[in-house]
Amino acid sequence: MPTGTAIRDVRQQLFNAADRILLRDGPSGLTSRAVTAEAGCAKGVLHRHFADFDAFLAEFVLDRVHRMDPQAAALRESAGTGTVVDNLTTALTSLFGSVAVALVALITFRDELRARLRDTWPAGVPVLTEAATTIATYLAAERDLGRVAPHTDVDTLAAMLIGSTHLLFADRTGATPPTSAVRGTVTAVLAGAMPAPG
């Protein structure tokens, strides 16, 4: 790229490059040089927009967490429609079928990134804690509608759903689990939370 040529939406271009590298090469392949090469820009571009590479990674993770907002809204709006199991199966498959699994690995892989994220995200792994909050909100709405048993601890149930489903998807190099496996996990976790028939 010639010097002085403006790059439009450089931050998103760099974030999109990081997505591709994470999905293809995993956390160990994600370096500042790899990101700028993948984005097709000069090496110094990243450091003109971010204090250092961990600052870039922290903003990248938070940007990807905020991209989950439409999925969260869709899950909330599904309360009272379809079945609880199907709604959660769809939401969890969508979550873990995205870059989320790779982000969890990245956060686990880099100590400095975790430290940076603590400045704006005080507890847990951002992708997983945001997803757990979304699921707990959805389950609370279903509980209010009588489709989840009264007095169900929706926060604990949401954490169990996230943890159990994450185990299915954790090997980013393996085959994607079938929907039936996700549905089976959701059904098992929800077994004690579904209201008795009639």
CATH number at residue 99: 1.10.357
Is 164 within a domain? yes
The three state secondary structure string of the chain is CCCCCCCCCHHHHHHHHHHHHHHHHCHHHCCHHHHHHHHCCCCHHHHHHCCCHHHHHHHHHHHHHHCCHHHHHHHHHCCCCCCHHHHHHHHHHHHHCCCHHHHHHHHHHCHHHHHHHHCCCCCCCHHHHHHHHHHHHHHHHHHHCCCCCCCCCHHHHHHHHHHHHHHHHCCCCCCCCCHHHHHHHHHHHHHHHCCCCC
Q: Are residues 68 and 43 in the same domain?
A: no
pLDDT recorded at residue 3: 42
pLDDT recorded at residue 114: 82
pLDDT in tens, 102-143: 888 888 888 888 888 887 766 667 778 888 999 999 999 999
Structurally, the chain folds into a number of domains equal to 2
Half-sphere exposure (Cβ direction) of 112: Cα atoms closer than 13 Å: 6
Is 1 within a domain? no
pTM here?
Answer: 0.82
pLDDT in tens, 45-93: 998 889 889 899 989 988 888 888 888 889 999 999 999 999 999 999 9
